[in-house]
Amino acid sequence: MGERRDDGGGEAATATAPPEDLNGDAVGLDPADLAAELDAARAERDSLIDQLQRERADFANFRRRVDGERATARQLASRDILIRILPVMDDFDRAMAAVPADQPETGWISGTRMVGKKLASVLESAGVTPVPALGERFDPALHEAVATEPGTAGDHVVEVYQGGYRLAGTLLRPAMVKTGDAPPGQDDEDSGGATSQA
């Protein structure tokens, strides 16, 4: 019980003696062994650096892939919402088409026109553009023919039942159309118009 214990203020009871010579002579290590240990430590360091670089590259690839998947998910969600809004736009178009020509411009008619224009501007700002249809050459990639005038080649759109729309070059909905022959003189205009616009 007369033993005194040191609480950290002095040297530990079982301290190892420091090496007397930094060259390793007193410790008894061979310089060749030290060189081998140094080479092994360098090889381990190089291996760890290589692993770290690979992990960083894997993480960068993971981040890119996740960002791409998020962008695709946002685009698909936007596309689905826009597809659901298109029938509302169709209803506005039908409402405006149903207004009698002799009907004076009343408050509710002008208000309905303004709401339709606002909806069209919202769709346009989201990147939605109408598919050109009436008078155009029939394109099965853009138009869905639901009727054809009898006795015609059916190579031009003569009536549009429902407008088609694109989103950033991707077709949201094809235009539902009636096909028939081109109006007289339009074949000449098509070939001339393409040349003059080019």
Closest among 131, 64, 109, 118 to 89, alpha carbons compared: 118
Same domain, 139 and 181: yes
Same domain, 113 and 144: no
What pLDDT score was predicted for residue 7? Answer: 52
Same domain, 94 and 111: yes
Tell me the pTM: 0.55
Do the Cβ atoms of 109 and 103 come closer than 8 Å? yes
What pLDDT score was predicted for residue 188? Answer: 45
Domain holding 53, by residue range, is 28-126
Same domain, 95 and 141: no
Which amino acid, 151?
G
Q: Supply the CATH number for residue 80's domain.
A: 3.90.20
What pLDDT score was predicted for residue 187? Answer: 54
Same domain, 110 and 179: no
What pLDDT score was predicted for residue 47? Answer: 94
Q: Supply the CATH number for residue 147's domain.
A: 2.30.22.10
pLDDT tens by residue, the chain, 198 residues: 455 555 545 544 444 554 555 554 545 668 888 888 899 999 999 999 999 999 999 999 999 999 999 988 888 888 888 888 888 888 888 888 888 877 767 778 888 888 888 988 888 888 888 888 888 888 888 888 888 888 777 788 888 888 889 887 788 889 988 888 877 766 544 444 433 333
Q: State the DSSP code for 69.
A: H
Task: State the greatest distance between any 2 C-alpha atoms of the chain, in Å, as a whole number.
Answer: 123
Do the Cβ atoms of 126 and 78 come closer than 8 Å? yes
What's the structural domain count of the chain? 2
Which amino acid, 132?
P
Asked which of 104, 126, 148 is the last residue of a domain, the reply is: 126
What pLDDT score was predicted for residue 99? Answer: 83
What pLDDT score was predicted for residue 190? Answer: 46
Same domain, 108 and 136: no
What pLDDT score was predicted for residue 40? Answer: 93
Q: Within a domain: residue 23?
A: no
Q: Within a domain: residue 16?
A: no
Same domain, 104 and 41: yes
